């Protein structure tokens, strides 16, 4: 559908070519929500290949500081999020979904009020609901795990960061129905959806963002 293609395009176009752009780094979630970060000028954002993601896991983007190894190390290990112009990225190293980790590198994100939503590979419950069809056979062992990991390379879902404890919550269909509580026309449309992938949930999140900005 056209709207799904638009959401995927909007997410994948958050590539930032090295240039003189507004670049802000946030040390923690509080700074991000308050928009009180540190401005820098040397960041480079690189889209990671599918092979690198499969081998090393983690987010879709690598962010480093050109000719500044100390800042690059800070970005990898301690930085919470980075904003380059209108594009926001969160550090997957800082994210947790229940007992699952997302790995390293950065994932594209955006804010709606105090809530931050980021797009990353499905893990845990999100992986099960996204990649497994009811009744579909699944191979066990290392071969089965490898096939499952490969199948998820292109899969993306959305997570909401809890502003109180910083933990991620999978934006499932049930979760989205709750978020759309004030918009029954969108809830009715959502009920007909059969996917919880980023291309579908992203559409409704973008609608929520638009409606929130219009208030």
Query: What is the Cα–Cα distance from 152 to 12, expressed in whole angstroms?
Result: 17
* pLDDT value at residue 10: 52
Amino acid 54: pLDDT? 83
In whole angstroms, give the CA distance from residue 204 to residue 185.
11
CB atoms within 10 A of CB 187: 16
pLDDT in tens, 32-51: 999 999 999 999 999 999 88
Choice between 135 and 200, residue whose per-residue pLDDT is larger: 200
pTM comes to: 0.81
Which pLDDT score is estimated for 136? 40
DSSP collapsed to 3 states, the chain: CHHHHHHHHHHHCCCCCCCCCCEEEECCHHHHHHCCCEEECCEEEEECCHHHHHHHCCCCEEEEECCCHHHHHHHHHCCCEEEECCEEEEEHHHCEECCEECCCCEEEEEEECCEEEEEECCCCHHHHHHHCCCCCCCCCHHHHHHHHHHHCCCCCEEEEECCCCCCEEECCHHHHHHHCCCCHHHHHHHCCCCCCCHHHHHHHHHHHHHHHHHC
Question: For residues 69 and 86, what is the distance between their CA atoms, to the nearest angstrom?
Answer: 25
What pLDDT score does 9 carry?
A: 45
Dmax of the chain from CA atoms?
Answer: 52
Residue 146 has pLDDT above 80, yes or no: no
Query: Cα–Cα distance between 131 and 112 in angstroms, integer?
Result: 28
CA gap 203, 10 in Å, rounded: 10
Tell me the per-residue pLDDT of 95-129, one tens digit each, with 9 for 90 and over.
999 989 999 999 999 999 889 999 999 988 787 66
Whether residue 123 contacts residue 97, with contact meaning beta carbons closer than 8 Å, is answered with: yes
pLDDT of residue 142: 39
Lowest-confidence region among 41-45, 137-141, 147-151, 183-187: 137-141
Report the range of poorest mean pLDDT among 37-51, 56-70, 112-126, 149-163: 149-163
Whole-number pLDDT of residue 127? 75
């Amino acid at each position: 559908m056209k709207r799904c293609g638009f959401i995927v395009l909007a997410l994948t176009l958050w590539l930032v070519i090295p240039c003189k752009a507004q670049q802000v780094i946030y040390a923690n979630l509080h700074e991000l929500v308050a928009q009180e970060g540190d401005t820098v000028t040397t960041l480079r954002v690189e889209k990671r290949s599918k092979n690198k993601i499969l081998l090393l896991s983690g987010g879709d983007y690598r962010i480093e500081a050109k000719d500044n190894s100390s800042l690059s190390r800070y970005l990898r290990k301690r930085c919470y999020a980075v904003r380059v112009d209108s594009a926001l990225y969160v550090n997957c190293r800082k994210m947790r979904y229940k007992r699952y980790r997302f790995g390293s590198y950065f994932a594209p994100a955006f804010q709606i009020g105090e809530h931050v939503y980021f797009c990353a590979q499905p893990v845990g419950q999100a992986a099960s609901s996204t990649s497994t069809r009811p009744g579909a056979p699944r191979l066990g062992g290392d071969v089965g795990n490898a096939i499952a990991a490969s199948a998820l390379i292109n899969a993306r879902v959305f997570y909401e960061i809890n502003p109180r404890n910083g933990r991620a919550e999978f934006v499932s269909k049930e979760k989205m129905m709750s978020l759309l509580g004030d918009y029954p026309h969108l809830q009715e449309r959502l009920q007909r959806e059969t996917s919880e992938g980023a291309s579908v949930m992203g559409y409704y999140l973008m609608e929520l963002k638009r409606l929130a900005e219009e208030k």
